[in-house]
Structures are given as structure tokens and as C-alpha cells.
Structure 1
Amino acid sequence: MNPTTTHRRIAVVVAAAAVVSAGTVGAARALSGDDDSHEQPIPASELEQAERAALEETGGGTVTGTEVDDEESRYEVEVTLEDGHQVDVQLDEAFRVVGTEGDDSGADD
């Protein structure tokens, strides 16, 4: 076997291993559904307006999380109600409510 052929085979095996490795890591992240690495909280300069709008929409509760530029809106504010239910309030750039979504389960369930 000549050295050129051996080097080519080694290069092909290394490249194939890299592709398989990258694919495995990507698949594992996708399946975990836990990719919060890109979530950014609402900046302090906008937080008060977002919280006020969300709490007005839910009629009270406690803000337990925020996010900018989630998949559904400019701002998302997570509110935990007194009964333990959680509601995600979606807000546009002007802090207007564009949607809400509840968790359908509370602390008493």
C-alpha cells in the first residue's frame, strides 16, 4: 500500500468521525429540550414595564422569570399565581399583551 493512499484513508476516517461526533452532540441537545443557553432575561431598563403589563394581565401574582426575544414575542414574563399556576404572558415591543399561556397545573393539583 502506498503512503498517499494510507494518508487519504486516515483523513477520510478522521473526517467521518468528526461528522458523527458533531451529529451526536446536536441530536443530544435537541432531544434534551433543555437548551436555555440562548435565553436572555429582560434588561433592567425594560423590566418594570414588562412586569407591570404582565401582572395587570394576570390580575396579580409573582414574576418568576423573564425572557427577551423568545419564539413567540419580544418579551415573555412568567407569572406564578397565588394558587400555584404559572402563566406566560407574551408582550410586544410596546409592552402590549399579545398572548398568554397557562401551565394547566397548579400547586394543589
Structure 2
Amino acid sequence: MKAPEITSELKNDLKVLKMRASLDPKHFYKKNDREGLPKYFQVGTVVDSPVDFYHSRIPKKQRKRTIVEELLADSEFRRYNKRKYQEIMSEKAAFAAGKKNRKKKKFHN
């Protein structure tokens, strides 16, 4: 297997796959055992079955080129991300406010 040329799109897709545990809160993934991005990998294309033309097929207008584009187009994912971001920022603000109001301790030698 040859090492493919890593473009910015491929790099972003690999990062998304690496962080897939944070994408879906209800789905469990094992911990990644790899630090960086893999050197050797293959990218495939999902081919739709002609049998499922009307049932489980994504129309051409909704198809995206990369995983990142698919996630950005998914409204449920964006809503979840926005909510989590707001929670984290409010926690940080509360922590910073608590730090600011604390009295400074004087150390005696």
C-alpha cells in the first residue's frame, strides 16, 4: 500500500475520525492508540444500490465531498456542538469569576 498525498481536506477528515467519540454522545468508541495521523490509509467511496433508489438514498444535492462538510451540513450535529460550546464557556466564565473574587493569601516565612 502506498502512502497517499495528504491534502488539507484529507487531514481534516482524519482529525474528525480521530475525534469521533466526541461527535456522538450516545455512542462509545475505544480509545485511539495512535498519537499522530496514520501514514498509510485508503479512502473509499460509498456506492448506492439501485434497489434503494427511493428509500435509503441521499439525493445528489445533499451529498458532500468530505466528512467535515457532511458534519457542517448536519443541523442536529451543529445544534449539539453549539450547546456543548456554550456549556464549556459558561463553566470557564464561572471558574474565572470565582478566581477573581478569591482573597490573596499571604505566606509567612
The two structures have a TM-score, normalised by structure 2, of 0.22
Which one has the largest radius of gyration? Answer: 1
Which has the larger share of strand? 1
The two structures have a TM-score, normalised by structure 1, of 0.22
Which has the larger share of helix? 2
Does 1 or 2 have the higher relative contact order (CA < 8 Å, sep 6+)?
2
